[in-house]
Every structure is written in structure tokens, then in C-alpha cells.
Amino acid sequence: MRYTLSFICVVFLLLQEVVAHKATLCANDLLARNAICNRSLSSKERASALVQALTLQEKLNNVGKTALGVPCIGLPPYKWWNEGLHGLGISEGVNFSTSGEFAYATSFPQRECLGLNWTPGWLLMKGLAITMGAAFDDALIYAVASVISIEARAFNNFNRAGLDLWTLNINLFKDLRWGRGQETLGEDSFHVLSYAYHYVTGLQGGIDPKQRKVTATCKHFVAYDIENWQGNVRYGFDAMVSTYLIQTVVREHWGWNHDDQWIVSDQDAIQNIFMPHNYATTRERSVADVLNAGVDLNDGIYYTDYLRLAISQNLTTEATLDQALIRLYSSLVKVGYFDSDATQSYSSLSWSDVNTAAAQQLAYQAAVEGTVLLTNDGTLPLHVTPTTSIALVGLWGIAPTDLQGTYAGNAPFLRSPLSALQSRNITVNYAYGNAGERDPSTDDWSNAVAAANKSDYVIFMGGISSLDENEGQDGGTAIMDIVLGKVSPAGRLPVTQYPSSYVNEVDMTNMALRPGPKSPGRTYKWYNGTAVFPFGSGIHYTTFTASIIQPTGTHSYNIQNILSKCDKRTNRLDQCLFKNISAAITNTGTTTSDFVTLLFISGKFGPTPYPLKSLVAYERIHNIPGSGAHTVILKLTLGSLSRIDENGNTILYPGSYSLLVDQPTQATFNFTLTGKEAIIDAWPVKSKIK
């Protein structure tokens, strides 16, 4: 009889799904009978009570990205797939209205990919630079994430979004040929770690807030480096389901073991394990292997369709399924999904909190801060008068619908570079340029030549595809404000720009970072060639000097003495503070500008070969006036001094160390570590690999 009721509930659901259910879930008399509504219990106890009330089929109906709910007990459907990479994005869980309220949300930059925008004398790099990563501004990242989560809450209050966001992409951008690099933050692990920390805490409202704003879902674990290269596609590699990676590393070693911390598959990845990866011999074996390994949610339909058969064949258990559902519903408890408005921190948020004036200014600021100027002979900024004329050439100058990039939502407005120029009191001559810009066999620049002949300046914005131009809602304004000198560029390149020959020197399937017989190395840490533009490149409309304020006392430190001063109550020795390094930054020019202070470490410590240098700290200083000075304090931790050995252990080695400020280096500080090498994080052994 219970299964019959389950079927009736599903049919009823299809009729009810379009109806808003803004009312408090626990105000429903049916659901209120369950301890999920007892706020005196822990999130695990509440979620467990709900899961215990479900039949097996009802459990299966709620372990996919589109959870069907159980209307018979007052549990509504829930769509887990909600995008929020650079603003609320179009996805199953985010429902934009066709007009009026909730028709859009603030759109932040993903990347400013304007290729190499060249005119004689200057090079503005917004290509292959992920915009907010290029800003090197953690406070900005936190503020952007906070706005996105506030808008998600406002949408949720009116049943237009879920309370988990599938963001952000924490993969390293190790090869510029990869098809997903615009989603990432750059090639450096420290930079990505710091960015991710501030983005996630911004989304969630802190590390462990009393009530979480939304649940952040970072991706992709464990690695993702190739989309399609010379017939090698992402689905063409041997796959594995690793209990070691998911259970031993993530849940046990990294402590991802709280009741509300869950893991979701990539889209159709569980299906792919069966076909085309051919890892599992049957579909039921595929779902069982993945569930047993610790994946709680299926971005697809395989769990719902095949877990019953897997359980009947004793390949997995209903108790394992229960554990997955408890984690999922515990996270919904944490965001207050079931509770009344009176107990909610964000229940009053509404349409008036979406795309506010402050949010619009922040989107503009993010686009400005992420702009990187690579060369300039003094042509920029352009000095214009009412009689000045500018030729804007290229499809990227007018790409209004392509300004947002992947995983975008509806923007309130999209200001292209052309519209931004036209708003100034100057003459603008626009030309599409080569009609076959995406096709080298077509070569007709007559319209561009005509526009250039009647203009004082020419700005070219073009490339392979306008789909690569991801500036956010106000990126066009930001670009032109920089070109015309209203604001100053100060971003830094978060990737290495290699020479064109690099694509013939390194196979994309060669994932090694260190140089070898068939590779000059990857990333700024190991590349032994001459980069066109190194990681961290970026100049200004002014000049800066940077120096290290030399620490007083000895410049030799004993490893065992350092460790003895760390807090013994924590097992995170990598976060133990070694020293605060002070750097003096002076604007030696006349133009007010931001400055990104980059601190690298190099030296001879640990096994050879040694990395060329590694980023260990950074800080963006805002609005330093001409002749002005600022002292920045950079935190140096034991993790910053360490290296990883071949077994994955994080080790503090004796040896000689050098701190380097800026790219290119402007100042150094040398010191030594003595004593015995010490493991500050022991990587779990791989004996548990399945």
C-alpha cells in the first residue's frame, strides 16, 4: 500500500510543481508531524527523522538533481542544480520571470576575454585572464559572493531559486588550450585557494554561521584538464571510482565529514562510468560503486533508475542511501529551508534587494579591477576632446548578448564597449571589420579601413569568437573608462602567456608540471622557456617601487623551534604563522592607482629540481595617490614555506629561502631554515584505493 501511495504522490506532484510554495514548509500539518520541524534537534537528527519516514521508492525519487519530494507528507520538490559562478545563472533551479520582478540578477564578470587588443603602442590584456582572478582582491571576491547569495535568497523567498549554488570552479588553469579555462581562477594553487576561501565564505555567510546563506558546491574534484584535443575527449579516458579519494582523502583527511557536507557527481558522470568509460560492467554496478564510494547526489537519473536493482542485488544497501539523503537534507536544515520566517535571517529579502545600486557598482568595480595592461608606450590613456574621433573595429565591440559568458543568467542590462564609447561626447566610427573574422579564408577589411581613415584613434576588439567575451553587465563601460583614463588598470595576469611554439612542445595529455624531454614545463613555477607575458604581469598608468622592510634580528630559523610555537590544539600546521612580512609600496608617478603586491618564494630547499618561484601572499592596495606610499603586511605561513614530496606529504625543509616582491622582482629578503625536516601534513597512504 505504501508504494501505491508513493505513486499517487508523484502523480499529484506533476500537478502541483508549478504552484508556489512560499509558505513555511513546517506550517504544513503533514510535515509538522515529523521531527524535521523540531528546531531543538541537531540538523542530523532532523534530517534522519525525515529520511526514516520515506519508503525506498520515495528515497530514490529524491537522490537526483531534481528531487521529486513527497507531497503526501508535505515535502515539496527541490531542484539542486542552481548556478552562481558570476551571478545567478540559468539552470533547473533558477527560474527567471519573463518580465518584471525577478526577470534578472546582477551579472558579474567571468573573464574579460578581449584577446590581445592592439593598436601601435599599447596592449590591453583581457584575454586568457579570468577577470576576478586577475583582480587579486580577496575582499572584492567576498563582496561579489555575498551579493550573489543575497540575491539567491531573495529569489528563493519567492520560489525562484534553490539554496545551494554549484560554484565555484577550483580547477587550475594549467593549459590555455583547455575549453573551460574561463570558468577558473588561474594557474596558481595558492591564489585559487585564497580566492575559493573568500568566495565560499562570502556565499555561505562565514565559516560556520548560525544560519548559512546558501550552500556552496565547489567543482571539479579530483582533476579536470582537457575537453577535446586531437581526438582525446573528456569522455575518452579510463575512469575509476575511488573510495580512497572520496572517503579517505576528502572525508577523513580533509575533514569533509560533517552531517551536512555532501558530494555530487558531474552531469551524467555516473552513467558515463558504465558507458563510455566501461568501468562498471552493469548500470546497477555503476550506481552502487559510486554510492558506496561516498557520492551523495546524482546529477542525472541513474541513481533513481538503478539503485533499487543495485540494492536488491546486494551491491549496496538502503542504509548507505539513507546516509546520502541525511547529508543532503541536513544541508537544507542548515540554510533554514524548513523553518518559519520568524527564525530566518534572510526571510525579508525581496526583489528590492536584487541588482541594487551597490551591486551594480560592484559589478563595474570587478570588471575594472580585473583588467590587465601589458604594454604601453604612453598612448594610453587616450586624451580626447569633443572633436576627437575613434574607430572601434571588431565584433567584440558590439557583442551585447555574449558579454556574460558561460553559466550566466539574465542581466539587467549589457553595456558593450560601443555603447560605452557612444555615451561620451566624442565621435565613434564603428566597423565590424573582417566579415569572416572567424574564417581566415575571408579577408575583407574595407569597412574597417574606411572607419580608420576618418578617425584619430583605432581600437580593435576581435578574435576567434565573441562567445569568449565575458565582461558582465557593465564590462563595456569598464573597458572604455580605462582606455580613456577615467580609472587606472592594476590587474595582474593569473596565467602564463606562452609563445605560440608552446602548443607544439607540450601534449595536452601530458599532465606533468615539471620540465622533461617532451615538455618545457607548465605554469610559471616550472616553465623553463621565455614567456611572452609571465604570471603576475601587469603595468599601470603610473610607476611604483616596492621594497621589503627587513625584519630585525636573526635571519636563520630552526624548524623545531618554529613548530614548538604553533597551536597544538589544531592539526593544521600549514596554517601556523611563520612571520608577517612588511612591504613598502610607493607611487612614484602622478596618477592615482591601485597596486597588487605579489610575494613569491624561491630557494634551495627540499629535493631537486626546485620550482622557480611560488606565490605565497598577495594584497591589493587601493587608490594610492601620486607620490603616496603605503605599507602592506603579508602573512607568511608554514604552508607557504613547505613543499610536497612524491608521497604527497607536506614537508618543511632546511635550506636557503628568498622572498621576492613583485613581477618582475623589485626586492628580496633572504633567510635560512635549519634543523631537521618536518612533516606538517601527512598524506594518507593509498592502500585503500578501490
What pLDDT does 360 receive? 96
- N-to-C CA span, the chain: 40
Q: Are residues 560 and 649 located together in one domain of the fold? A: yes
Asked whether residue 605 carries a pLDDT value surpassing 80, the answer given is yes
Alpha helices in 178-257 (DSSP H): 189-204, 243
Asked whether residue 117 carries a pLDDT value surpassing 50, the answer given is no
The answer to whether residue 686 is domain-embedded is: no
Measured distance CA(579)–CA(17) in Å, rounded: 56
Write out the catalytic residue numbers: 266
Mean pLDDT (whole number) for 74-98: 93
Q: Are residues 480 and 546 located together in one domain of the fold? A: no
Q: Are residues 465 and 547 located together in one domain of the fold? A: no
What lies within 8 Å, CB to CB, of 151 at 6+ separation is 87, 88, 105, 106, 353, 354, 355, 359
The answer to whether residue 638 is domain-embedded is: yes
Least confident of 109-113, 384-388, 646-650: 109-113
- Give the CATH number for residue 476: 3.40.50.1700
What pLDDT does 168 receive? 87
Asked whether residue 249 carries a pLDDT value surpassing 50, the answer given is yes
What pLDDT does 110 receive? 62
Q: Are residues 455 and 548 located together in one domain of the fold? A: no
Q: Are residues 548 and 431 located together in one domain of the fold? A: no
What pLDDT does 222 receive? 78
Measured distance CA(231)–CA(234) in Å, rounded: 10
The answer to whether residue 346 is domain-embedded is: no
Q: Are residues 445 and 566 located together in one domain of the fold? A: no
Cell numbers at residue 48, please? 534522519
pTM assigned to the model: 0.92
Domain residues for the domain of 429 are 371-484
Per-residue pLDDT tens over the stretch 274-326:
988 888 999 999 999 999 999 999 999 999 999 999 999 999 999 999 999 99
The answer to whether residue 688 is domain-embedded is: no
Measured distance CA(140)–CA(109) in Å, rounded: 12
Q: Are residues 376 and 464 located together in one domain of the fold? A: yes
- Give the CATH number for residue 616: 2.60.40.10
Give which of 520, 495, 496 is closest to 510, Cα–Cα.
Answer: 520
* Beta strands at 593-605 and 629-637: parallel, antiparallel or unpaired: unpaired
Per-residue pLDDT band at 20 (split at 50, 70, 90): very low
Measured distance CA(130)–CA(172) in Å, rounded: 12
What pLDDT does 128 receive? 34
Mean pLDDT (whole number) for 232-261: 86
Phi, psi dihedral angles at 615 (to 5 degrees): -70, 130
Per-residue pLDDT tens over the stretch 199-244:
999 999 999 898 999 999 998 887 777 878 887 777 766 667 889 9
Asked whether residue 374 carries a pLDDT value surpassing 50, the answer given is yes
**Dihedral (CA of 58, 62, 64, 68) sign:** positive
What is the total count of domains within the chain?
2
Task: Say if residues 54 and 3 touch (Cβ distance below 8 Å).
Answer: no
The answer to whether residue 608 is domain-embedded is: yes
**Dihedral (CA of 132, 133, 134, 140) sign:** positive
Asked whether residue 434 carries a pLDDT value surpassing 80, the answer given is no
Per-residue pLDDT band at 396 (split at 50, 70, 90): confident
Share of the chain above pLDDT 90, in %: 71
Strand partners, 556: 672
Peptide bond into 386 cis (omega under 30): no
What pLDDT does 662 receive? 98
Q: Are residues 669 and 569 located together in one domain of the fold? A: yes
The answer to whether residue 60 is domain-embedded is: no
Measured distance CA(397)–CA(93) in Å, rounded: 33
Per-residue pLDDT band at 193 (split at 50, 70, 90): very high
Task: Say if residues 300 and 265 touch (Cβ distance below 8 Å).
Answer: yes
Q: Are residues 551 and 659 located together in one domain of the fold? A: yes
Least confident of 11-25, 38-52, 113-127: 113-127
Asked whether residue 111 carries a pLDDT value surpassing 70, the answer given is no
Per-residue pLDDT band at 642 (split at 50, 70, 90): very high
Q: How many other C-beta atoms are found inside a 10 Å radius of the C-beta of residue 18?
A: 6
- Residue finishing a domain among 452, 484, 516: 484
Per-residue pLDDT band at 352 (split at 50, 70, 90): very high
Q: Are residues 671 and 547 located together in one domain of the fold? A: yes
Asked whether residue 466 carries a pLDDT value surpassing 60, the answer given is no
Phi, psi dihedral angles at 194 (to 5 degrees): -65, -45
What lies within 8 Å, CB to CB, of 90 at 6+ separation is 83, 96, 407, 408, 409, 410
What pLDDT does 402 receive? 57
Helix H, strand E, coil C: the string for 425-454 is: CCEEEEECCCCCCCCCCCCCCHHHHHHHHC
Q: Are residues 660 and 564 located together in one domain of the fold? A: yes
- Residue finishing a domain among 467, 484, 501: 484
Mean pLDDT (whole number) for 10-17: 35
What pLDDT does 229 receive? 82
The answer to whether residue 240 is domain-embedded is: no
What pLDDT does 657 receive? 98
What pLDDT does 326 receive? 98
- Residue finishing a domain among 434, 451, 484: 484
Q: Are residues 568 and 670 located together in one domain of the fold? A: yes
Averaged pLDDT score across all residues of the chain: 88
What pLDDT does 462 receive? 75
Asked whether residue 4 carries a pLDDT value surpassing 80, the answer given is no
Mean pLDDT (whole number) for 21-26: 72
Asked whether residue 126 carries a pLDDT value surpassing 50, the answer given is no
Q: What angle do CA 13, 15, 16 make, to 5 degrees?
A: 65
The answer to whether residue 154 is domain-embedded is: no
Residue 345: is it exposed, middle or buried by C-beta count within 10 angstroms (0-12/13-18/19+)?
Answer: middle
